[in-house]
Amino acid sequence: MIILGIETSCDETAISVVDCKGTLESPDFKLLGSALVSQMKLHAEYGGVYPNLAKREHIKNLPIVLEKALDEAKMEMGNIDAVAVTVGPGLEPALWTGINFAEQLGKEWGIPVIPTNHMEGHIASVLTDRSSMKFPALALLISGGHTELVYLKNWTEKEVIGETKDDAVGEAFDKVARMLGLPYPGGPEISALAERARNSEQGTSIKFPRPMIHSKDLNFSFSGLKTAVLYYLRDHPGADKEEVAREFEDSVVEVLLSKTRQAVEKYNPKTLIVGGGVIANKKIRESFEEIFTNLDLRIPEKELTTDNATMIAMAGYLSHLSGRDNEIALKAQGQLKYIS
Ligand code: KG4
Ligand code: ZN
């Protein structure tokens, strides 16, 4: 089955053509072609994503991205068997642009449209290299909009076992970056500063909290950490930004590792998936690779950590195989949850 994936839930307009084969237990994916336009620079001056600007840009970019992706895949309309489109969670005005575009293609080409969950996409993002995986699995999803731990009994039965009570990890990176006068998105900027501090090997007297690290549940909170950074900068004019970045990143790493370790102990998964834009972070990635050595740790290849349409095509295929493609409505659902 050749699936055309469409992703417009936030600030990336992306289309991928993926050759999808195999079963739910052992799917087999091959990326044929893809194109992506990021609006990151446009939104940078707002310090975050501005929904109506995102909508306008998606509408402008979708036809261009479609042509590029089809070109690269050497495909024409007659070759595509289905369209998978993100319907949520995400920004509704942005989601609608992808949905309307998908519906139009579906009609024109006479093929079905598979409404797809963006978070299932992030989970499926690890399936490009070695497709089949052992269950039960645990997924830690860390992005600009989400921070959650998901237990997967199999590809269809999922349960959120922990989530952030306030800010998402990526959001905390972005907000702290802003306090430090760094551009959006802040993750890569902070990461670079923190690494410089680590390389210089000087000690630090800064100690930020590790929010909820001792709570008895698997939930997260990052807004207190963000506030701690704010107060520290207020009380220490001229503070060393590299040191602040390192201590902030260390706090995030410790919390993510601790909660994931607790979840692994409690649920005993065979596979651990870590997906979402924040896993592009070198320190976080290396820490996970160092700690979780006795289960199958799956981290997506770099281009598939941040939002993309390849993961949507793959998730759409799995949802189609499980016969659930009609259980999600084909409309923008900003707060879409997993079906269980
Ligand atoms: O998955 P994603 O592209 O979009 C959402 O679905 O939210 O994630 C974007 C987030 C941003 O908050 C960005 O700051 C963060 O991922 N990010 C990073 C790094 N690269 C991107 N955070 C920490 N370290 C990085 N190297
Ligand atoms: Zn995402």
85-106 pLDDT per residue, tens: 999 999 999 999 999 999 999 9
Determine whether the shortest distance from the Cβ of 186 to ligand 1 is under 6 A: yes
User: Which among 277, 307, 286 is positioned nearest to 194, based on CA atoms?
Assistant: 286
Interval between CA 121 and ligand 2 midpoint (Å): 8
Interval between CA 295 and ligand 2 midpoint (Å): 25
Q: What would the two tokens of residue 273 be?
A: 């998936």
Phi, psi at 72, each rounded to 5°: -65, -35
Using DSSP's 3-state secondary structure scheme, residue 255 falls into helix
Nearest CA to ligand 1 atom 7: 144
Question: Rounded to an integer, what distance in angstroms lies between the CA atom of residue 245 and that of residue 190?
Answer: 6
Using DSSP's 3-state secondary structure scheme, residue 278 falls into helix
How does DSSP classify residue 84?
E
pLDDT at 202: 79
Determine whether the shortest distance from the Cβ of 89 to ligand 1 is under 6 A: no
Ligand 1 atom closest to residue 12's alpha carbon, by position in its atom list? 3
Nearest CA to ligand 1 atom 19: 187
Determine whether the shortest distance from the Cβ of 120 to ligand 1 is under 6 A: no
Determine whether the shortest distance from the Cβ of 187 to ligand 1 is under 6 A: yes
Answer whether 65's CB lies under 8 Å from 13's CB: yes
Determine whether the shortest distance from the Cβ of 145 to ligand 1 is under 6 A: yes
Ligand 1 atom closest to residue 185's alpha carbon, by position in its atom list? 14
How does DSSP classify residue 78?
G
User: Which among 207, 167, 212, 162 is positioned nearest to 186, based on CA atoms?
Assistant: 167
pLDDT at 112: 97
Tally Cβ neighbours within 10 Å of residue 110. 9
- Closest ligand to residue 304's CA: 1
Q: Rounded to whole angstroms, what are the CA distances from 247 to 210, 229, 250, 338?
A: 10, 9, 5, 34
Question: Rounded to an integer, what distance in angstroms lies between the CA atom of residue 338 and that of residue 10?
Answer: 19
pLDDT at 47: 65
Phi, psi at 62, each rounded to 5°: -55, -50
Determine whether the shortest distance from the Cβ of 143 to ligand 1 is under 6 A: yes
Answer whether 217's CB lies under 8 Å from 209's CB: no
Determine whether the shortest distance from the Cβ of 125 to ligand 1 is under 6 A: no
340 residues of the chain, pLDDT tens digit each: 999 999 999 999 999 999 999 999 899 999 999 999 998 878 777 767 788 889 999 999 999 999 999 999 999 888 999 999 999 999 999 999 999 999 999 999 999 999 999 999 999 999 987 778 899 999 999 999 999 999 999 999 999 999 999 999 999 999 999 999 998 888 999 999 999 999 997 788 899 999 999 999 999 999 999 999 999 999 999 999 999 999 999 999 999 999 999 999 999 999 999 999 999 999 999 999 999 999 999 999 999 999 999 999 999 999 999 998 888 999 999 999 998 6
User: Which among 21, 15, 28 is positioned nearest to 2, based on CA atoms?
Assistant: 21
- In DSSP terms, which residues pair with 114 in a beta bridge? 84
